[in-house]
Chains A and B, each alone.
Chain A
Amino acid sequence: MAERSFVEEVKKLRLSGGDVFRGEGILAVTKALLESGVSYVAGYQGAPISHLMDVLADAQDILAEQGIRFENSASEATAAATLAASVNYPLRGAVTFKATVGTNVASDALANLASGGVTGGALIIVGEDYGEGSSIMQERSHAFAMKSQIWLLDPRPNLPSIVDAVKQGFDLSEASNTPVMLQLRIRACHVHGHFIAGDNKRAKFTLKDALENPQRDVGRIVLPPASFVHEQEKVRERWPAAVRFIEERKLNEFFSEDADDIGIIVQGGSYNTLLRALERLGLADVYGNTQVPLYVMNVAYPVIESEVIRFCEGKRAVLIVEEGQPNFVEQNLATILRQAGSTTALHGKDMLPVAGEYTASELLKGARSFCERYECLAPLPVTPPVRKVIPLKEVAAIGVDAAPEPAQPSTSLAEVVHARPPGFCTGCPERPIFSAMKLVERELGPHHVSADIGCHLFSILPPFNIGNTTMGYGLGGAGAAALNAPAGKRAISMMGDGGFWHNGLTSGVANAVFNKSDNLTIVVDNNYTSATGGQDILSSNAVNKTRSTGHEIERAVRGVGVEWVKTLRRTYDVAGMRDALKEALTTSKKGPKVLIAQSECMLNKQRREKPLVRKAIADGKRMVREKFGVDSDTCTGDHSCIRLSGCPSLSIKPNPDPLRSDPVATVLDSCVGCGVCGEVSHAAVLCPSFYKAQIVSNPSRWDLLRERVRAAIIGWLQRGEARRRETYAF
């Protein structure tokens, strides 16, 4: 069960011809898949395409009606290999994952798929996690498309264009026997817009047909001599076929082609941002009518030579807006223009940033310098540097693009606006693991920690500051492989349950067994792939009608030959965690050690349990709620507890004591009562200020009786004590 429920969104998948679909870009893609007559969809979850997977997981009935097979693949490699079904059969299939990390994992299968080519349309939908908010290395999917010769679509980021790209993508794939990659930037995946829906289409040829009538063509299998033939086929047959298709269907767009003797070539994904920049410069209107000719490459690869030459014909200069590096398209254009003997000047990364996201302000700057250079815009008057006079109020000058630069933050503003790094949620079961590691660090000194991908990677940030490297999803164990030598300390590897099943079981654990490693691997088992939105995996506890769950990590680990395995079923037991870690790091037993730290992801747990608890209370059932708190009169304001936890619910507030000034710790109402602060203050011998309040709703008769007796006696004693103090009060 994913973090979000998509019941409402699923309804949208049923819209038919003429209905208006309103929603997110990635859900529009999902609807477009149904309208394209796909037979199967597979993928691996991750931002920004998780919602595609989640909504399909919640739409089992629609999938059944349409005869569509939906797979939660074990990895992106699995997903890509799933497209093999389109090699021999006229089956349309789509796979999806996060790029470029997913593309990296999938590249083996993608290369094999692209070599032999496809019969049925094969679409690879990649969510390009690039720029602001990205959590991965900054690279381009473009390189994968080029190296394997997969056509790359990069449509304009509005819902009709995106939906159209899906449908055209399948046709293009079939017309050129080549898989097609549809690249959607993160903002396009999450953009809310609308399009006119079509009817869902059921495939004529079904998976059942394929299974019952197997077809085979040795020419499609990647083995010499066929592989050499494939390479020739790619350039002699498939490429020209694709070019013809793209030209005929006019997948790329020309706007105001002859309006001026300069022009801008832009990848579809950057179109809206560029348009806004031109509009601010007074060179376009809000509807996209532009004075500067535009050539919009909704197909980023291959570059269509004829169209480029047509666009550049008679132009003094063109600017290519190509986000990310290397500048593949710019190089390609240069070759085309050079070989055509064109005199059109080519600009690109000389006027735009070489690396980094093409934000609105960057494109504004780049477009301005291009237009000024070719006298399409009057240069901004150079304002002489004004000496700052302090009491004057700074007001941005008036004009269309008067304030394109972010206002220079004065140093003091930079000082008072702190970064807000992502961190563990309130009650996260992973926090106590790192609190325990901090405590072990105090006793045994720091260790080399090979981190992994997942929420647990937040340990590298304050307040924990634990973790040395991260080499990829599930590769925490592998990342410590070389550090396997006789030494006074062992390396520690982190791995999430998601990464474990993705590949960590073999790449990390089995590898450690085979290579006789002596290191420790901590597998964080929180029942879901939490960082991607809480999807189920093999070891999930949830009962899932369409998936097989409940396969224990410990059994898998023992199965590949690990002997020292410990499962802690409650990560919140900080002292227990600390002791287990210490034992794993100091035991004289040889061989890899695996510590499985189990507790359910709190985000998912709360979502599951909150309504149940509310209902139980309403039904008059006895329920106990726990909340932690800090006594402000015993807290001395050192904040050790915060440095060992970083819980969003553990904060500070002004000191109520008139004699003290340092703020005291406080527990906010968002506390879910996980107990880590209490456990940490115990294990670290911190301070006696923490208390746990247990609030009983619908108390039993016994609760009430006991409460009455206690209140009577304790109340009497307290009143006496208060009276004594009152005597001395003034």
Chain B
Amino acid sequence: MTNKVQPIKIAILAMGGEGGGVLADWIVDMGEANGYVAQTTSVPGVAQRTGATIYYVELYPNAQAEADGGRPVLALMPLPGDVDVVLASELMEAGRAVQRGLVTGDRTTLIASTHRVFSIAEKSALGDGRVDSAQLLAHTGRAAKRFIRFDMAQAAEASGSVISAVLFGALAGSGVLPFSRAQFEATIERGGVGVKPSLKAFGAAFARAQGGDDGEALPEAAAAMPAPRPRHPAVRALVERVQREFPAASHDLLLEGVRRLIDYQDTAYASLYLDRMAAVAALPDHGDQRLLRETARHLALWMSYEDTARVAALKTRATRFERVRGEARVQPGQVLAINEYMHPRLQEICETLPGGIGRWLMNSTLPKRIVERFTQHGRVIQTSSLHGYLMLRTVAAMKRWRRSTMRYAEENRRIEEWLQRIAATAQRNPDLAVELAQCQRLVKGYSDTHERGIRNYDTVMRAVERAGAGLAPATLRELRDAALADEHGHKLQAALAQHALA
């Protein structure tokens, strides 16, 4: 039996709360209003609560059915390989459509947003667990007959609407459905909810899809760093030293490091940074400056470790107030208050005080107990109030004696050891030295998180010592990744055992 006319088959992949249902209802309403038998169904249930959901729509022309004297039997679920249009509200969901076989090169037009809503696995990684969007794009692009894509979250945002309206506009603009723009727009108007912003989002998306927008991102403009123009003589000396003493390939990172450390402490501290880097520059490498660059990055980060004074300084800046204002979308005429969630413990307080006082407090009995009592609970500090602001400024001012604190001594000791290890290793195996430099990444966060990082770092360093000259760079990389794989250090222990380094 042959069928001249096939139903139009549309699958919508969305996550709960993203308006996939609204979009399906729009398509059905448009079909019914314009001479089509329309059917849609979905499997919501628990998927409504943030899970992924597929909505499925079929449309069949009434006139054809009447001419043939029949009533179409429409399906309640998509058949892989038999879908005309797939709409995906997000890039990973587009990937899911491909994975489920709904997107095929012979007929499927895929309309998807290129923005990402990160999965829980991506979000909860200890380091960087993000999936490569380019990978997703490659897979989806290869599978579809036509692939219309752009950042629809941004488009929705720009028009003050939601992603379903953008998808509807892109669907109209793609021209794959037998409905006119006016018919699409009338559907939105009939819906009656948020009509104006929806139409605006629709129009913009329509134009982009008509323009054949395949969302090809502009090639990253190689951000040509503006030539540094230091004003302060001490700063100029530092900049010139970088330009004079170090290979050009490392200038960007070194200058960033210098900038960071002047901001963090002072020019003398930045000078110490360059002294240390000068020693690294003298180490043997394969001429690719990888060791120099990686050490420049990680040394700057380590030397600007986050202590209470640093946090207080960053939190009280005007630029930061402006950033919060933007993130909270404060409108003119509204008043903003900023509250910080801080939980300094005895440890952090002792580490911020001048070395002698800090050590005395740490070793005292009664004063220590009093401070401990006061730091049992976290505090909410309103930085936008005079009291809160001045308090944080006072804490920030403690950077003056930072280099005398217990914390500085401790961090400095670790940095020196780390640099020595890098130097010694580079003599034998520069690649291993690069991996060693990158181990700084293990130490991050505050309080318990920081302690866990230090613990992992020490464990890995002990393993490096035990392995000695025979350690392969790939093994060290593996250990580092394992240390960032879970909070409890199970993966790290397993990796150590695997390489007989436990």
Residue of A nearest to B379 (CB): A682
B221 contacts the other chain (CB 8 A): no
Q: Which residues of A contact B386 (CB under 8 A)?
A: 709-710, 713-714
Tell me the nearest residue of chain B to A461, going by C-beta.
B120
Q: A122-143 toward B: CB 8 Å interface, digit per residue (1/0)?
A: 0000000101111100000000
The A/B interface has a contact count, at CB < 8 Å, of 395
Residues of B within 8 A of A290 (CB): 1
At the interface, yes or no: A286 with Cβ under 8 Å from chain B? Answer: yes
Fill in one digit per residue for A274-307: 1 if any B CB lies within 8 Å of its CB, else 0: 0111011011111111110000000000000000
Instruction: Give the shortest distance, in Å, between B201 (CB) and chain A (any CB).
Output: 16
Which of chain B's residues has its CB closest to A669's CB?
B329
A134 engages B68 (CB within 8 Å): no
Shortest beta-carbon distance, A404 to chain B, in Å?
6
Q: Most chain-B CB neighbours within 10 Å: which of A22, A277, A285, A627?
A: A285
Contact of B139 among A187, A413, A458, A693 (CB under 8 A): A413
Query: Contact flags (1/0) for A531-546 with B, using CB distance below 8 Å?
Result: 1000000000000000
Chain B residues lying within 8 Å of A396, measured Cβ to Cβ, are 81, 104-106
Instruction: Please report which residues of chain A, range 657-694, place their CB below 8 angstroms from some CB of chain B when the two chains form the complex.
Output: 658-663, 667, 669, 678, 681-688, 690-694
Query: How many whole Å from B379's CB to the nearest CB in chain A?
Result: 8
A223 contacts the other chain (Cβ, under 8 Å)? no
Tell me which of A212-220, A549-557, A720-728 binds B.
A720-728
**Complex Cα distance A167/B100, Å?**
39
Q: How far is the CA of A272 from the CA of B106 in the complex (A)?
A: 25
- List A contacts of B96 (CB < 8 A): 417
Measured between C-beta atoms, what is the minimum distance from B123 to chain A in Å? Answer: 5
Q: Which residues of B (29-78) have their CB < 8 Å from a CB of A?
A: 32, 38-53, 60, 65, 68, 70-78
Does A29 belong to the interface (CB within 8 Å)?
no
Q: Is the CB of A133 within 8 A of B43?
A: yes
Does B216 lie at the interface of the complex (its beta carbon under 8 Å from any beta carbon of A)? Answer: no
Knowing A276-B79, A730-B231, A730-B239, say if A694 contacts B119 (CB, 8 Å). no
Q: Closest A-chain residue to B384, C-beta based? A: A710
Q: Which residues of B contact A639 (CB under 8 A)?
A: 123-126
B328 near A688: Cβ-Cβ < 8 Å: no
Inter-chain contact B341/A682, CB cutoff 8 Å: yes
> Which of B5, B99, B385 is A710 in contact with, Cβ under 8 Å?
B385
User: Which of B128-136, B271-279, B398-406 interfaces with chain A?
Assistant: B128-136
B residues in contact with A409, CB < 8 Å = 98-99
Q: Which residues of B contact A272 (CB under 8 A)?
A: 73-76
The answer on a CB contact under 8 Å between B98 and A413 is yes
Cβ of B95: which chain A residues have Cβ within 8 Å of it? Answer: 413, 416-417
CB neighbours of B310 from chain A (8 A): 634
Which residues from 84 to 143 on chain B have a C-beta closer than 8 Å to any C-beta of chain A? 92, 95-96, 98-101, 104-106, 117-128, 130-132, 135-136, 139, 142-143
Whether the Cβ atoms of B120 and A423 lie closer than 8 Å is yes
- The reply to whether A420 and B15 form a contact with Cβ atoms under 8 Å apart is yes
Say yes or no for A395: interface residue by CB 8 A criterion: yes
Task: Say yes or no: B1 contacts A285, CB within 8 Å.
Answer: yes
Residue among B105, B123, B230, B260 with the most chain A CB within 10 A? B123
Cα distance, A283 to B99, chains bound together (Å) = 28
User: Are B320 and A631 neighbours in the complex by a CB distance under 8 Å?
Assistant: yes
B475 at the binding interface (Cβ < 8 Å): no
Q: How far is the CB of A392 from chain B (nearest CB, A)?
A: 11
Shortest CB distance A255–B (Å): 11
- B247 CB contacts on chain A under 8 angstroms: none
Query: Could you tell me which residues of chain B, from 301 to 331, have a CB within 8 Å of some CB in chain A?
Result: 301, 306, 310-311, 314-321, 324, 327-331
Given that A282-B1, A402-B106, A728-B262 are contacting pairs, would A688 and B318 also be in contact in the complex, using a CB cutoff of 8 Å?
A: no
Residue B342 lies at the interface, judged by CB distance under 8 Å to chain A? yes
Q: Whole-angstrom distance from the CB of B119 to the nearest CB of chain A?
A: 4
Q: Mark A603-639, 1 if CB is under 8 A from B, else 0.
A: 0000000000000000000000001010101101111
A414 at the interface (CB under 8 A from B): yes
Q: How far is the CB of B374 from chain A (nearest CB, A)?
A: 15
In whole angstroms, how far apart are the Cα atoms of A493 and B117 in the complex?
33
CB distance B130 to A663 under 8 Å?
Answer: yes
A340 in the interface, Cβ–Cβ < 8 Å?
no
Residues of B within 8 A of A401 (CB): 81
Q: Is A191 at the interface (CB under 8 A from chain B)?
A: yes
CA distance in complex: A150, B32 (Å): 39
Pairwise interchain contact A652-B130, C-beta atoms closer than 8 A:
yes
Is A513 interfacial (CB-CB < 8 Å)? no
Interface-side segment among B164-172, B416-424, B425-433, B442-450: B442-450
Contact B76 A412 (CB under 8 A): no
A198 contacts the other chain (CB 8 A): no
Q: How large is the interface on A (under 10, 10 to 19, 20 to 34, 35 or more residues)?
A: 35 or more
**A420 B119 Cβ-Cβ under 8 A:** yes
Complex Cα distance A730/B449, Å? 34
Instruction: Kindly provide the distance from the CB of B462 to the nearest chain A CB, expressed in whole angstroms.
Output: 22
Q: Does A468 contact B (CB under 8 A)?
A: no
Give the distance in Å from the alpha carbon of A539 to the alpha carbon of B329 in the complex.
37
Q: Is A407 in contact with B232, judged by CB distance below 8 angstroms? A: no
Least Cβ–Cβ distance between B213 and chain A, in angstroms: 22
- Does A444 count as interface, using CB distance less than 8 angstroms? no
Min CB gap A253→B, angstroms: 12
Q: Does A240 contact B (CB under 8 A)?
A: no
| A693-B327 contact given A276-B75, A634-B311, A643-B124, CB 8 Å threshold | yes
Partner among A133, A277, A423, A648 whose Cβ is within 8 Å of the Cβ of B45: A133
Q: Does B465 reach chain A (CB closer than 8 Å)? A: no
User: Which residue of the partner chain, among B49, B230, B253, B334, contacts A696 with CB atoms under 8 Å?
Assistant: B334
The answer for the CA separation of A637 and B130 in the assembled complex, in Å, is 12
Task: Decide yes or no whether B377 CB sits under 8 A from chain A.
Answer: yes
B127 near A688: Cβ-Cβ < 8 Å? no
State the CA gap A714–B388 with chains docked (Å): 10
Once the chains bind, are B121 and A462 in contact (CB under 8 Å)? Answer: yes
A704 at interface, CB cutoff 8 A = yes
| A462 and B256 contact, Cβ closer than 8 Å, known pairs A283-B1, A696-B335 | no
Among A193, A279, A636, the most chain B Cβ lie within 10 Å of the Cβ of: A636
Known: A636-B444, A685-B345. Is A193-B39 also a contact (CB below 8 A)?
yes
Residue of A nearest to B319 (CB): A722
Interfacial chain B residues near A685, Cβ < 8 Å: 343, 345, 378, 446-448
In angstroms, Cα B451 to Cα A684, docked, is 13
Which one, B49, B98, B142, B316, contacts A718 given CB within 8 A?
A: B316
Task: Name the residue among A425, A650, A686 with the largest chain B CB count within 10 angstroms.
Answer: A686
B321 touches A718 (CB 8 A): yes
In the complex, B459 has a CB within 8 A of chain A: no
Closest to A291 in B: B1
Q: Would A637 and B345 count as touching, CB distance under 8 A?
A: no
**Within the complex, what minimum Cβ distance (angstroms) separates A626 from chain B?**
9
B262: which A residues are within 8 A, CB to CB?
Answer: 728
Residue numbers in B under 8 Å from A709 (CB-CB): 386
Cα-based distance from A401 to B40 in the complex (angstroms): 23
Cβ-defined contact, A133 with B47, below 8 A: yes
Query: C-beta contact mask, A694-717 vs B, less than 8 Å → 1, else 0?
Result: 111101000110010110011101
Whether A275 touches B444, Cβ cut-off 8 Å, given contacts A282-B1, A422-B47, is: no
Stretch at the interface among A358-366, A375-383, A586-594: A358-366
Partner of A190, one of B6, B38, B43: B43
CB pairs A–B below 8 angstroms (8 shown):
A47-B44, A187-B77, A188-B76, A463-B124, A634-B314, A681-B343, A688-B342, A691-B324
Q: Which residues of A contact B (CB under 8 A)?
A: 22, 47-48, 129, 131-135, 157-158, 186-188, 190-193, 271-273, 275-277, 279-280, 282-291, 359-361, 364, 393-396, 398, 401-407, 409-410, 412-425, 455, 458, 462-463, 531, 575, 627, 629, 631, 633-634, 636-640, 642-643, 646, 648, 650-652, 658-663, 667, 669, 678, 681-688, 690-697, 699, 703-704, 707, 709-710, 713-715, 717-719, 721-722, 725, 727-730
Contacts A282-B1, A643-B124, A729-B231 known; list 6 others, CB within 8 Å: A134-B45, A395-B106, A575-B378, A685-B447, A693-B338, A695-B334
Closest 5 CB pairs of A and B: A287-B70, A403-B81, A406-B101, A682-B378, A133-B43
